[in-house]
Amino acid sequence: MSVLQIFSYVLVTLITIAYYFIRRHHTYFAVRNIPHIKPVLLYGNMKKVGNNQHLKEPFLHLYKKFKAEAPFAGFYLSIRKAVVLLDLDLIKRVLITDFSEFSHRGNYYNEKDDPLSGHLFNLDGPKWKLMRAKLTPTFTSGKMKFMFSTVVEVGQRFVEVLKEMLEKEPQENGVEIRELLARFTTDVIGCCAFGLDCNSLKDPEAKFRTMGKKAFTTRRHGRFVVAFMQAFPNISRRLGLCMAPKDVSDFFMKVVKETVEYREKENVQRNDFMNILLELRKSNGMEGLSLEEIAAQSFVFFLAGFETSSSSMAFALYELAVNQQMQEQSRQEVRSVLEKYNNVLTYEGLKELHYLQKVLNETMRKYSIASIIIRKALTNYQVPGSKLIIEKDEIVIIPVDAIHHDPDIYPNPEEFQPERFNADQINQRHAMSWLPFGEGPRNCIGLRFGKLQAMIGLTLLLNNFYFTLSPQTPVPMIFDPKSFVLAPKGGIFLNIQRIE
């Protein structure tokens, strides 16, 4: 028998074994009579995702189909199985009441070969608990007040750049506002996380902006390798597999190293996140942060901060352009508060913009930037009031976007109604019915900062400009199926007119 024949037999055998393994794996929920949608070989329930379907769609379909039948349904993430929670009481148990049994996210990270992956969002177990304890004091309302003036300063530069842009040349097809807002939030995070002027407002090709985009849209490996990394993390670490592209990792590590060395050498103090991390570097009752840990936390603060806030602001302005009466009501509230504080945007004044806050909250309901929340079961968990078991190591998914569009919770969910967030309406809803930042001990640690920069951006823009919809932007919104987070396909173009 030739070498080629032996190789062919081995290959066929391996393919047959893999086929049998996957097919058997895909019978898991059927054997246990757990509601699910029949999977497709290799793809599971994700075949259309990334092609003509956004990530939120299969979970929305599953939620609608099985919500009335069971507290959770089965789902196949390619070759990996998961359960999708359909009951709000069960969701509360997973996120809050029984958090200790679901405290892990199960995300892949590799601190040795990819130090930027060792950030708070990815870490699990004692490492996560210690890092969360270290970082929690950095996001108090007091610390937000500490960084407020920095965000306002960048916001005022944003207004001036936009005015200059409108004066230089007419924007006949409108302005692509999402990219412009991403440049604003990039400069905000650059100042607050790294203490650097990124200059992306004036230079769209600034290094921070291009690397930020690449970090969010590009992975070092393809789709199936990423699925393998998530399914087999220990093997992947031994193989040295990494998520972030090498040039992105090298760039951010270099920036952090130079910033830390300069500040420590010159004893520089600034009102920013980096300064807070440097204080944590000096042991304060706990082990101090290493350079790699500072880099990883700064990196995730940058990624989470610029993308989510810029998208939420863009969607809010889109809705206000469609609903002119709401835009004018928001603007009048802004002007009334500014007048009260001598036309200066203050931290106290920002908290008085109650209607604008409702606009932002409704935006985060209708447009769930992160459409799902992921947890991992640490024990065999029996669902209260049933015989159903969520097995140890099972991936648990909370379909945030589906909940936010449930007509039983939010009547006419596709309509934009800020009044949904009046106090009386909030009190009538389940506590788990609005989850843009997650809930419980593992909620988004930076939620205060995210709200802060979004509110400052919207306040300054509404005070200086009118917004109307460009014909280039569709109504209703069309979403990009290739984007993991919720993003408009082709951008959001708005006509912008300066208020004299």
Please state the rounded mean pLDDT for residues 336-356: 97
Which residues are CB-contacts of 276 (< 8 A; sequence separation ≥ 6)? Answer: 138, 143
Domain limits for position 258: 32-498
Please state the rounded mean pLDDT for residues 395-409: 98
30, pLDDT greater than 60: yes
Q: Which residues pair with 376 in a beta bridge?
A: 104, 395
* DSSP letter, residue 74: E
269, pLDDT greater than 90: no
Q: pLDDT category, 208, cuts 50, 70, 90?
A: confident
Instruction: Please state which of the ranges 137-141, 364-368, 469-473 shows the lowest mean pLDDT.
Output: 137-141
| SS3 assignment, position 468 | strand
- Residue 471 φ then ψ, to 5°: -60, -20
Is residue 422 situated within a structural domain?
Answer: yes
Instruction: Please state which of the ranges 172-186, 208-222, 428-442 shows the lowest mean pLDDT.
Output: 208-222
- Bond from prior residue into 384 cis (ω within 30 degrees of 0): no
Q: Measured in whole angstroms, how far is the alpha carbon of residue 48 from the centre of its chain?
A: 22
Better pLDDT: 378 or 169: 378
Is residue 182 situated within a structural domain?
Answer: yes
Residue at token pair 């055998």: 13
Better pLDDT: 184 or 233: 184
Confirm if 44 and 79 have CB atoms less than 8 A apart.
yes
Q: pLDDT category, 484, cuts 50, 70, 90?
A: confident
370, pLDDT greater than 90: yes
399, pLDDT greater than 90: yes
463/479 Cα distance (integer angstroms): 29
284, pLDDT greater than 60: no
- Our count of domains for the chain comes to 1
- Residue 242 φ then ψ, to 5°: -130, 155
- Residue 151 φ then ψ, to 5°: -65, -45
Is residue 194 situated within a structural domain?
Answer: yes
Which residues are CB-contacts of 408 (< 8 A; sequence separation ≥ 6)? Answer: none
pLDDT given at position 444? 93
Is residue 84 situated within a structural domain?
Answer: yes
Complete DSSP assignment for 298-347: HHHHHHHHHHHHHHHHHHHHHHHHH-HHHHHHHHHHHHHHHHHTTT---H
Confirm if 395 and 82 have CB atoms less than 8 A apart.
yes
Please state the rounded mean pLDDT for residues 155-162: 96
Is residue 158 situated within a structural domain?
Answer: yes
102, pLDDT greater than 60: yes
Instruction: Please state which of the ranges 4-8, 223-227, 296-300 shows the lowest mean pLDDT.
Output: 4-8
pLDDT given at position 369? 95
74/81 Cα distance (integer angstroms): 7
Please state the rounded mean pLDDT for residues 189-203: 86
Better pLDDT: 277 or 156: 156
272/180 Cα distance (integer angstroms): 23
Better pLDDT: 495 or 248: 495
Enter the pTM of the model.
0.92
Q: pLDDT category, 139, cuts 50, 70, 90?
A: confident
Confirm if 55 and 372 have CB atoms less than 8 A apart.
yes
b/e for 395-425, b at 16 or more Cβ within 10 A? bbbbbbbbbbbbeebbeebeebbbebbeeee
Domain of residue 401, CATH code:
1.10.630.10
Which residues are CB-contacts of 315 (< 8 A; sequence separation ≥ 6)? Answer: 363, 366, 367, 477, 488, 492
For 438: left if phi > 0, alpha if psi spans -120 to 50, otherwise beta; the answer is: left
Confirm if 422 and 107 have CB atoms less than 8 A apart.
no
13, pLDDT greater than 70: no
Please state the rounded mean pLDDT for residues 441-470: 96
243/30 Cα distance (integer angstroms): 33
For the record, the structure tokens of 399 come out as 């379909």
pLDDT given at position 4? 66
pLDDT given at position 9? 65
Q: How many CB atoms lie within 10 A of CB 169?
A: 7
10, pLDDT greater than 70: no
Which residues are CB-contacts of 385 (< 8 A; sequence separation ≥ 6)? Answer: none
Q: pLDDT category, 169, cuts 50, 70, 90?
A: confident
Instruction: Please state which of the ranges 45-54, 169-178, 222-231, 398-407 shows the lowest mean pLDDT.
Output: 222-231
205, pLDDT greater than 70: yes
**Residues of the chain above pLDDT 90, percent:** 54
b/e for 207-220, b at 16 or more Cβ within 10 A? ebbbbbbebbeeeb
pLDDT given at position 228? 76
Mean pLDDT of the chain: 89
Is residue 204 situated within a structural domain?
Answer: yes
246, pLDDT greater than 90: no
Is residue 376 situated within a structural domain?
Answer: yes
Q: Tell whether residue 444 is among the known ligand binding residues.
A: yes
379, pLDDT greater than 80: yes
Closest CA to 129 of 393, 443, 442: 442
Closest CA to 312 of 301, 323, 300, 320: 320
Is residue 358 situated within a structural domain?
Answer: yes
* Segments of 343-394 assigned E as strands: 373-376, 381-382, 389-390
pLDDT given at position 3? 62
CA dihedral 255, 257, 262, 268 (to 10 degrees): 80
Confirm if 371 and 364 have CB atoms less than 8 A apart.
no
b/e for 362-392, b at 16 or more Cβ within 10 A? bbbbbbbbbbbbbbbbbeebebeeeebebee
Number of residues in the chain: 500
Better pLDDT: 252 or 102: 102
Instruction: Please state which of the ranges 210-214, 252-256, 280-284, 454-458 shows the lowest mean pLDDT.
Output: 280-284
285, pLDDT greater than 60: no
Better pLDDT: 362 or 223: 362
Which residues are CB-contacts of 234 (< 8 A; sequence separation ≥ 6)? Answer: none
Closest CA to 398 of 362, 439, 365: 439
Q: pLDDT category, 283, cuts 50, 70, 90?
A: low
Q: Which residues pair with 176 in a beta bridge?
A: 493
